[in-house]
């Protein structure tokens, strides 16, 4: 049966260029401008070719040896049909208990750890919907490889029907708790490493417990401004490190939460705080350098 690799470019350095050189059929799951601007962070499908053994073996070894893990899909359908099916899962809705609005969020099912955890939570109808044309899924992580396929009950169960008009899957409370812990633990660890590396002078005299406390405070700040996106938490961690007084200043927080024209939009509040923080910078270069330091968290250049 044909085998397709599902790869995360953010976890495999230089993946788009490697795929282009491989000669293997491949597709980015993102489309439009995102496929270009987010090329180094996007998920990709690559079809292993039995007639191009060397290229297929090279790509598979690269994926496994990177330490980031990979996902193998066994599907008897063309690559474009797999792409069409999987694209429906790039955006999901959070449980109503965790979101005031039905705003779609990116679902990183192309991370093998996240996918393995998610598959273990699915009802037969949900499993049938997610697998679609895929017969078997293998998640490969540094510690283990796991194989998933539909049970007999799931094969006999009609797939969960999505709401008409491009409706999205809604994560339930159990799935949210499992995935939040998985991604949260990794995210916290990455934040600790990042602070120790990128802000070494500022954290030199802080104990590990104090760094963790700083991160916990920033997560509480994210709750307060109703914006728990990871990028916002990262920014709040750095604000807490460099200018904790801003988050304790009643005047500043009133501007951010109430009085500014953008304050009514929770996802704009972190931008307001960063604007206040960087307004003290003396030069454009200093401002550019600061945002470059923030961006290094996502490129793992630390």
CA proximity to 188, closest of 207, 214, 206:
214
Sign of CA pseudo-dihedral 38, 43, 48, 49: negative
Query: Within the chain, what is the greatest distance between any pair of CA atoms?
Result: 67
Q: For helices 173-198 and 208-224, give the axis angle rounded to 10 degrees.
A: 130
Choice among 12-26, 35-49, 94-108, 258-272 with the minimum mean pLDDT: 94-108
Please say whether the beta carbons of 172 and 94 come within 8 A.
no
Q: Give the C-alpha separation, 167 to 104, whole Å.
A: 10
* One domain, residues 157 and 43: yes
Residue 297: C-alpha distances to residues 97, 211, 301 (Å): 30, 16, 7
Which residue among 171, 199, 217 closes a domain? 171
- pLDDT tens digits, 175-226: 988 888 787 888 888 899 999 999 999 999 999 999 999 999 998 898 888 8
* One domain, residues 123 and 205: no
Which has more confidence, 11 or 172?
172
* One domain, residues 143 and 248: no
Strand ranges, E, within the chain: 3-8, 26-28, 43-47, 70-74, 91-92, 105-106, 136-140, 145-149
pLDDT score of 165 more than 70: no
Which residue among 137, 171, 205 closes a domain? 171
* One domain, residues 148 and 262: no
* One domain, residues 66 and 108: yes
Characterise 67 by phi-psi region: left (phi > 0), alpha (psi -120 to 50), beta (else): left
* One domain, residues 157 and 51: yes
Please say whether the beta carbons of 255 and 272 come within 8 A.
yes
Which tokens is 163 given? 């709401």
pLDDT score of 274 more than 90: yes
The stretch 36-40 carries a mean pLDDT of 89
* One domain, residues 138 and 258: no
Which residue among 153, 171, 189 closes a domain? 171
pLDDT score of 300 more than 70: no
Please say whether the beta carbons of 74 and 67 come within 8 A.
no
Which tokens is 116 given? 């393995």
* One domain, residues 27 and 80: yes
Q: Give the C-alpha separation, 83 to 132, whole Å.
A: 11
Which has more confidence, 283 or 68?
283
* One domain, residues 90 and 111: yes
* One domain, residues 41 and 125: yes
* One domain, residues 149 and 16: yes
How many domains is the chain partitioned into structurally? Answer: 2
Q: Give the C-alpha separation, 75 to 81, whole Å.
A: 10
Which tokens is 50 given? 């039995």
Question: Which domain, by its residues, includes 24?
Answer: 3-171
* One domain, residues 12 and 81: yes
Burial label for 174, CB within 10 Å (0-12, 13-18, 19+), is exposed
pTM for the structure as a whole: 0.67
Which has more confidence, 98 or 188?
188
CA proximity to 148, closest of 192, 109, 191, 197:
109
pLDDT score of 58 more than 90: yes
């Amino acid at each position: 049966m044909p085998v397709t690799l599902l790869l995360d470019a953010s976890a495999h350095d230089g993946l788009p260029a490697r795929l282009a050189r491989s000669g293997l059929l491949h597709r980015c799951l993102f489309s439009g401008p995102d496929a270009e601007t987010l090329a180094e962070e996007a998920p990709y499908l690559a079809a292993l070719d039995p007639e191009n053994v060397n290229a297929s073996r090279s790509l598979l070894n690269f994926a496994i040896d990177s330490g980031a893990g990979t996902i193998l899909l066994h599907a008897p359908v063309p690559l474009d049909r797999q792409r069409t099916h999987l694209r429906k899962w790039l955006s999901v809705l959070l449980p109503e208990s965790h979101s005031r609005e039905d705003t779609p969020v990116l679902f990183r099912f192309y991370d093998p750890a996240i996918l393995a955890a998610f598959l273990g939570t699915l009802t037969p109808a949900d499993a049938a919907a997610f697998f679609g044309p895929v017969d078997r899924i293998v998640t490969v992580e540094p510690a283990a490889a796991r194989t998933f396929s539909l049970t007999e009950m799931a094969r006999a169960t009609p797939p969960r029907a999505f709401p008409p008009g491009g409706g999205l899957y809604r994560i339930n409370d159990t799935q949210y708790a499992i995935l939040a812990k998985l991604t949260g633990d990794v995210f916290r660890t990455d934040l600790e490493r990042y602070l120790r590396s990128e802000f070494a002078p500022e954290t030199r005299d802080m104990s590990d417990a104090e760094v963790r406390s700083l991160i916990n405070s920033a997560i509480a700040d994210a709750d307060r401004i109703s914006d728990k996106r990871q990028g916002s938490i990262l920014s709040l961690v750095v604000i807490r490190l460099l200018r904790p007084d801003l988050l304790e200043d009643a005047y500043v927080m009133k501007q951010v939460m109430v009085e500014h024209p953008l304050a009514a939009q929770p996802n704009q509040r972190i931008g307001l705080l960063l604007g206040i923080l960087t307004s003290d910078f003396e030069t454009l270069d200093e401002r550019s350098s600061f945002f470059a330091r923030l961006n290094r968290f996502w490129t793992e250049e630390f």
